[in-house]
Structure 1
Amino acid sequence: MDIIAALDLAIPIIQAPMAGVSTPDMAATVSNAGGLGSIAVGATDATGAQAMIAAVRAQTDRPFNVNLFVHSPPRDDIATERAWLDALSPLFAQYGATPPARLDTIYQSFAHDDAMLAMLVATAPHVVSFHFGLPGPDRIAALKAAGCLLLASVTSPAEARAAYAAGIDAIVAQGYEAGGHRGMFDPAAPDDLLGTFALTRLLVADGKQPVIAAGGIMDGAGVRAALDLGAVAAQLGTAFIACPESSADPAYRAALAGPAALHTVMTPALSGRPARCLANRFTAWGEGQTGQVPDYPRAYHAGKALNAAAKARGEGGYGAQWAGQGAPLARPLPAAVLIATIAAEMKEA
């Protein structure tokens, strides 16, 4: 398949669907500028996702991507969760709050969300992508029958082979440099920590599917390098955080523009799964913890509650400030201007 033609990309750039950052406005703007915009709906339900899709379609008639989380159900480990909440209690107390009495599963996996599947089949977005794993054959077949192109994030050749066997149309090679949640299918499995350069070349050499390179790519020179490696497109996430269309809050934007951008951290402390973010008060606390972190997304319930309590007292250093290793190269440009700038840089490169 000529995935670039199928996606109708004038510029081989995909805006990464970073939950908490990407918005319908951003997705529409990127698509209108010739790239592929994305919205992340893993943190909402079918009704919320449908509203987001409608908001993008109100602003563009071009293809865009709808991204879903396909994580395994979390374990209900009372002892681990109680110990985690106890460890967090002093932090909550600093901001005049108490941790939740118990942790909840705040996000439903697409693997078991029948309402989300029905909504996607009915609305038939041009592109649907998966993170943390692959849905079952029945869900893949239903989306394909609806006319959706399917993408999946992978972090290893083994995951890429599984995506190929499942019928995924193109794979997103997520290098260890990438910001946000690491997309490995099983967070408890060994991780070879493959960088974008090596992973992209391994998957291109395998030759089974079109490869989209992701991780550490911030400008036209980076996109051109990814294409030279054999990728058909590059996915950029951190590059769009500083755009005005992003939903990043002022503390997040200030951290991205400061010294923290030089010191990103891969940590499970915020959400229960490894994720790369700017070094902040929460990551510093997490580095000192020796106890087991509750499963995703139950740990995220506590993290979000702590961030809300701290923000209410004027402290923005406990947020999930996702960012990749290329963070110092972020530019506070409108998304359309950023796309045009990257396209010009690609020609220069």
Structure 2
Amino acid sequence: MWDALGVEVPIVQAPMAGVSSPALAAAVSNAGGLGSIGIGATDAAGARAAIAELRSRTDRAFNVNLFVHGPAKADPARETAWLEWLSPVFAEFGAEPPKALRTIYKSFADDEEMLAMLVQTKPRVVSFHFGVPSLDAIAALKRAGATLLATATSLDEARKIEAAGIDAIVAQGIEAGGHRGVFDLSVPDDGLGTIALTRLLVQNTKLPIIAAGGIMDGAGVAAVLSLGASAAQLGTAFIACPETAADEAYRAALTGPGAYHTRLTSLISGRPARALANRFTKLHESVADRLPPDYPIAYDAGKALHFAAKGKGEYGFGAQWAGQGAPLARAIPAAELVATLVRELNAAPSGPARSR
């Protein structure tokens, strides 16, 4: 699969929505890996512009990632109660919460314009998070020449991905930063780690497995390859690279004490996601049994709070997604990081250079 895409090293840069950028993805792809951009939080026009910019920077394969979550269920009473709970925090920054909350972006499952744009622009790799799209959408993307990836957090999800005709599975361990890729929030999440999940999927599916979660250096890449993975996906490892869209506060937090205490939280967006410990994650101490609105409705409140706080110089309410390996992040250019990862991979006891 990788040879056909022209990918030279088994390194995939995670498509971190809001952080990954065309410049980052191009740098990774040009260095021999598979760069990625997240387009799930934008519309078809915004995605088209991002793809065009990326293509202006590289002629190599890259990945575009989409969110395939179920429809958000509006619940005015629950949303009002959530805003009332957050109201004192808004007041701390001289602001009021929104009067009402919106569904701030579509699921790919309901976005025909996005599908049409992808069929027309023909990115060589398309990936899915939170589920898989319809068989018709999958067939259309395959006819357009796309190789398809989808995230699984369990063997059951991996089997659904395989049955849908997807080409490879991203095995997302509980260590990973950003949103958990669970398909159905009503089903208990076993929280499988990257090692256990990778082995389960290698042994019980026929698809290539891309291991993700807590991988920060070449030794980690070597470890998952030794488990049978075809490649490793790294996200947090790239956040500090100068090509990302992370702001200075996010970069500073990545080197601060919160990096050692990442937390899974649903407070920011309405779905579980791993973030650096900050002012937002600390709200868990007072949330009690309150439930946030559905994803991505809750994100409307989270973004408004971050905007209000940032205006007063407080950056601890940002969505500072990061995995458990955050303290190992390196602030070097993406191409240099890929080259470093390859050197470390080859030097690892189980790396390619040692196995020849």
Stretch of structure 1 that moved more, 229-238 or 4-13: 4-13
The one of 217, 228, 231 equivalent to 1:230 is: 228
| TM-superposition CA deviations, 1:232-274 (whole Å, max 9, x none) | 0000000000000011111111110111110000000000000
Matches within 5 A, 1:42-61: 42-61=40-59
> Which residue does 1:311 correspond to in 2?
310
> Which residue does 2:79 correspond to in 1?
81
Stretch of structure 1 that moved more, 304-313 or 287-296: 287-296
Q: Distance in 2 between matches of 1:112 and 1:286?
A: 32
Q: Work out whether residues 150 and 168 of structure 2, in 8 Å CA contact, stay in contact via their aligned partners in 1.
A: yes
Stretch of structure 1 that moved more, 169-178 or 280-289: 280-289
Identity %: 67
> Is 1:179 aligned to residue 177 of structure 2?
yes
Q: Distance in 2 between matches of 1:146 and 1:117?
A: 11
Q: Distance in 2 between matches of 1:51 and 1:346?
A: 35
> Is 1:323 aligned to residue 326 of structure 2?
no
> Which residue does 2:296 correspond to in 1?
297
Q: Distance in 2 between matches of 1:117 and 1:133?
A: 16
Q: Distance in 1 between matches of 2:126 and 2:246?
A: 23
Q: Distance in 2 between matches of 1:207 and 1:105?
A: 35
Displaced runs of 4 or more, over 2 A: none
The one of 96, 101, 104 equivalent to 1:103 is: 101
Q: Distance in 1 between matches of 2:208 and 2:239?
A: 26
Q: Work out whether residues 105 and 301 of structure 1, in 8 Å CA contact, stay in contact via their aligned partners in 2.
A: yes
Matches within 5 A, 1:1-349: 3-290=1-288, 291-349=290-348
* Deviation (angstroms), 1:5: 1.5
Q: Distance in 2 between matches of 1:155 and 1:91?
A: 34
Q: Distance in 2 between matches of 1:304 and 1:283?
A: 14
User: Secondary structure of the residue that 2:66 maps to in structure 1?
Assistant: strand
* Deviation (angstroms), 1:7: 2.7
* Deviation (angstroms), 1:292: 1.1
Number of equivalenced pairs: 347
User: Secondary structure of the residue that 1:58 maps to in structure 2?
Assistant: helix
* Deviation (angstroms), 1:8: 1.8
TM, length-normalised to structure 2: 0.97
| TM-superposition CA deviations, 1:205-231 (whole Å, max 9, x none) | 114110000000000000000100000
Q: Distance in 2 between matches of 1:287 and 1:224?
A: 39
User: Secondary structure of the residue that 2:215 maps to in structure 1?
Assistant: coil
The amino acid of 1:214's aligned partner reads: A
Q: Distance in 1 between matches of 2:7 and 2:59?
A: 13
The amino acid of 1:255's aligned partner reads: A
User: Secondary structure of the residue that 2:283 maps to in structure 1?
Assistant: helix
Q: Distance in 1 between matches of 2:210 and 2:78?
A: 37
Q: Work out whether residues 187 and 274 of structure 1, in 8 Å CA contact, stay in contact via their aligned partners in 2.
A: no
Q: Distance in 1 between matches of 2:84 and 2:284?
A: 14
Q: Distance in 2 between matches of 1:206 and 1:123?
A: 34
Q: Work out whether residues 132 and 185 of structure 1, in 8 Å CA contact, stay in contact via their aligned partners in 2.
A: yes
Q: Work out whether residues 200 and 211 of structure 1, in 8 Å CA contact, stay in contact via their aligned partners in 2.
A: yes
Query: Where does structure 1 lack aligned partners over 5 or more consecutive residues?
Result: none
* Deviation (angstroms), 1:287: 3.9
| TM-superposition CA deviations, 1:88-134 (whole Å, max 9, x none) | 00010011111111110001000000000000000010000000111
Q: Distance in 1 between matches of 2:264 and 2:75?
A: 23
User: Secondary structure of the residue that 2:211 maps to in structure 1?
Assistant: strand
User: Secondary structure of the residue that 2:32 maps to in structure 1?
Assistant: coil
* Deviation (angstroms), 1:276: 0.1
Q: Work out whether residues 13 and 235 of structure 2, in 8 Å CA contact, stay in contact via their aligned partners in 1.
A: yes
Q: Distance in 2 between matches of 1:95 and 1:173?
A: 40
Q: Work out whether residues 158 and 205 of structure 2, in 8 Å CA contact, stay in contact via their aligned partners in 1.
A: no
